[in-house]
A and B are shown apart, each in its own frame.
Chain A
Amino acid sequence: MIRKVTTLAAFLVAAPALAALLVNGAGATFPFPLYSKWFSAYNKLNPEMQFNYQSIGSGGGIQQITAGTVDFGASDAPMSDAELLKAPDLLHIPTAMGAVVVTWNLPSVKALKLTPDVLADVFLGQVTKWNDARIAKENPGVTLPDQSIAVVHRSDGSGTTAIFTDYLAKVSPAWKTAVGAGKSVKWPAGLGAKGNEGVTGQIKQIPGAIGYVELVYAQENKLPSAALKNRAGKFVEPTIASTSAAAVGAQIPADMRVSLTDAPGAEAYPIASLTYLLVHKNQTDAAKGKALVEFLWWAIHDGQKLAAPLYYAPLPAPVVTRDEALVKSITVEGKPVSLGRG
């Protein structure tokens, strides 16, 4: 505390105009509400540190941190090997988890269970009626109407689509060959709508529609969400707990670049993912580097408590432990940062 006061005093004496330490970041839009909460909460604790975060999308975040125009990047999908080659000292620090929820519009159907192959075939346009025998088989007791299924998907390139199609490509060989996975794909069926709100708007309007949105958005708007059969063979509802569970049993490599879809574990929801902050392992600016490391430490500990109220899934304990090691490995001007508080 005393040291903090003296550094602050030194700052004030030396250069009053530079009293604020501005850290720039750019990237993913999905975690933006959580990050802006973090930035304002952290700024209250450390008034000298200010954040400027541009939510320009994961692709833009990767480009900007690679080009060195920002101090940290943010991405929903891990960087590819080719991207990492251009900036080999970037660390992927998982900060929170998200999930993709399948939602629908059938007033008579309050709960829905779907198996991976049926879900893939619906989005391939091969299962076209709600009362299809394959849907009915998993939903005994539910009256499914003789109605056409209208598929709604995202039209804008998005991490949500990347995670959803990554899952479908894992569970359905037909999807993998016909469509594949990516932020924008060639959809075999349905309508495209912009953003979570666009997809939700279309689904609410078209009777018999089915689509996918982020867990955060589905929970905020109280949308119905389908229980999906996970790899362990259990039907799991998308919740904050079942999303966090997806990262518990998964094999996560040392660099944390992993796809958590179709994760093992009886409680794991199958369309979950990590979202990352991207920071350089070797920080060259002494003041900024130290401040950034301290912020990351705070984010993976105290910051996690702010996640659930905003419907983000907090990191499970094993991932936090891995994160701690990563954050400690960051060096500022060649030296590690001592992290007293935790």
Chain B
Amino acid sequence: MAAANSSTSESIPVTPAAPGGRRAFSGDRVYAGALAAAGIAILLVALLIAATTANTARPALARAGLWGFITGRDWNPVEDIYGALPFIWGTLVTSVVAIVLAVPVAVAFAIFLVEFAPSRSRSLLRFVMELLASIPSVVYGLWGLFVLVPLLREHVEPALGRFSFLPLFRGAPLGVGTLAAGVLLAIMILPTIASVSVEVLRTVPSTLREGALALGATRWEAVRIAALPYGRAGIFGAALLGLGRALGETMAATMVIGNSPEISASLFAPGYSLPSIIANEFSEATSALHIGALAALGLILFVVALILNIAARLLVRAVVGKFERSSS
């Protein structure tokens, strides 16, 4: 509505100018209307999805209460007892592991590509990185199951087991578990974060870089003091996009996470994520309560994604503000 109003108010003074103005005016209105309709349609679809999911979820939420459902640690379809906490935990832990592993590598890749790589190899490197993004997630899952998991079980987890004074690295090295899911997700979100970071670093004005170099900075120092601070907000945005993918990723995570609804501090232990349990149990769920509980998990995923998005946006705004203050 607001968009349509502002466009008409802007168009009015133009109308009497040219003979063709009237036609342009109605064209403007149609154009603005179409755009507004498209915008409202997106909003409506999102609202409809939320509303129907909430409606399906109602029996389960009515039984345990929203807070009881979220904090419930038991998931037992035979007894019709449903609690969401193990799945929320699994989703958050795997996403955090993925972000922690992927962001440094992706940013380093982007810096190398934009600042250091010989120009001839750049397009090849980008091509390979974009190829990673086009691999279907089920293929990642198979690779994870048959390559990554044995690697973790036989080499990585026994090595990390030496740090068992940290609760993170305790327990039997099964290979399958939250660590495997986190590492696999990290690889999957790498191309997303890297390619957006590349775009961001490319927007850094060359005058900034040249200025730093002229002041006697090395190439690394030029990146650190000129390029990175300029692109920081964009890189946060890239990490946010990656996080979004990690939260919702279903197939690949299901194949390596171990699918056990338990809350453990150890990364070696099997876990369960929100999308995985929905994909696993929805097709054969028959009782209204079971379907409702799965829909409620979907709703939680929706809300968790929303909260993370808002939080990341606030973070980006704070960083941009700080940058603008310090540069002025």
Contacts and interface: CB of A to CB of B under 8 A. Distances in A.
B174 A201 contact: no
A185 B76 CA distance: 6
Contacts of A193: 255, 259
B210 interface: no
Contacts of B283: 56-57, 59-60, 156-157
B257 to A, nearest CB: 9
Interface in A197-215: 198, 201-202, 205-206
Contacts of B259: 155, 191-194
Interface stretch (B40-48, B143-151, B182-190): B143-151
A184 B290 CA distance: 10
Given A185-B78, A190-B260, A198 B175 contact: no
A60 B281 CA distance: 12
A190 B254 CA distance: 15
A150 B174 contact: yes
Q: Size band of the A side of the interface?
A: 20 to 34
Contact of B280 (A59, A157, A180, A202): A157
B241 to A, nearest CB: 27
B147 to A, nearest CB: 11
Given A191-B258, A194-B255, A201-B145, A186 B74 contact: yes
Contacts of B78: 179-182, 184-186
Contacts of A194: 254-255, 259, 280
B285 interface: yes
A187 interface: yes
Given A180-B79, A186-B76, A157 B285 contact: yes
Interface of B: 74-79, 145-146, 149-150, 153, 172, 174-176, 254-255, 258-261, 270, 272, 276, 279-286, 290
15 contacts: A57-B284, A157-B280, A180-B79, A182-B77, A182-B78, A184-B78, A184-B280, A186-B78, A190-B260, A191-B174, A191-B176, A191-B259, A191-B260, A192-B272, A194-B255
Interface of A: 56-60, 62-63, 83, 148, 150, 155-159, 179-187, 190-194, 198, 201-202, 205-206
Given A179-B78, A191-B258, A192-B280, 14 more contacts: A56-B283, A57-B283, A60-B283, A62-B286, A157-B280, A184-B280, A185-B78, A190-B260, A193-B255, A194-B254, A202-B145, A205-B145, A205-B153, A206-B153
